[in-house]
Structure 1
Amino acid sequence: MKSYLGPQARALNGQRAALFRVRTSVADVYMSVSRSNYGNEERAVVEVDCARFLRLWRDEPCGDYAGLANGNQQTWRADPRFELAAEGFSFGEEDPVPLAEVSCPARAAVPYVAFTDGVMRTLWLAAYEARSFPVECAVNDAEALQRLAGTAGSRWFSVAELVPPQVARARE
């Protein structure tokens, strides 16, 4: 997983998280997934190829975000929420944005991705030409998502693997 920088202790609340750096055409931006008090073995992180991921999202049968999924850089940037994503990314490594949360049902007749959270963050990354980025999903969906949209040569990881129970010291 190229974007993974390692575990960190967040200064604001001491919460442990995995830190990721995503390269875009305007700057490197930072994302994270936090360890919680439970369920870290059931949550996974998959580094996805942006183009493959967007194609998979366009196949979502519910189509809650069909207009955005089938949009382009111009339509994404015209959405008023786009600037909120830009603001979130502006805080950098000190306050990384959370990973988008998605599902990728392994048994769907036509494979697809659906969002629980993070649509505009994902579109911001796509608009600024991120080739790949990490997303969070259930472990049950991770294998399918990795196979259908994962970056070449990588594998998915559970949050428990990425953020060990004890972080010896904060990332410098």
Structure 2
Amino acid sequence: MKNKKVLWMSYIAMFIALEVAMEFVNRAMPGMPFGGNISFSLIAIFLASYLLGVKGGIIVGVGSSIILFAVGIATFWGWWSVALDYLIPFGVCGLAALIKNIRLKNGWEVPIGIGFAMILKFLSHYFSGVFLFYQNTPAGMSKYWYSFIYNLPYNLATLVVCFVLVMVLLPKLKKVVKL
């Protein structure tokens, strides 16, 4: 039993390291002017959720967001921003495994939990835009509408990228990761 715990913790550390390393690549790509980009690095959190369970996914999500601050990738705009832009969005990605995958006739598994988690992630970023970054709203536009328009494109793109990559990688990793 002790070896399973050590193995589980090792996988947690590996997925956190993978997410942080991939975040360095994310930061090299163009993003939105006030923050936000296509975050394919989230696949590490989604894979952890599906392979290690919801608890493991949440730990990887929250743990990697903390490490991002430690290595200087994340931007500190205040404690509410830390919660709404990092801890909550990364943590809710770990909830993907709450919703069971749909198995297609051809054997593919459709990870619909990613859609659920990405909706929660979008809401966190949306509320961050409405309550914390409303000063960026163009004159004459509602801060609610602007936050919606600003946060939707990169979250949708992240959803599509992560959905496809997890569909391809998860079956292969299930054969290797045994707990």
TM-score of the aligned structures, taking structure 1 as reference length: 0.29
Question: Which structure ranks higher in relative contact order (CA pairs < 8 Å, sequence separation ≥ 6)?
Answer: 1
> Where is the helix percentage greater, Structure 1 or Structure 2?
2
**Structure with more of its chain in strand, by fraction:** 1
Pair member with larger Rg: 2
- Normalised by the size of structure 2, how large is the TM-score? 0.28
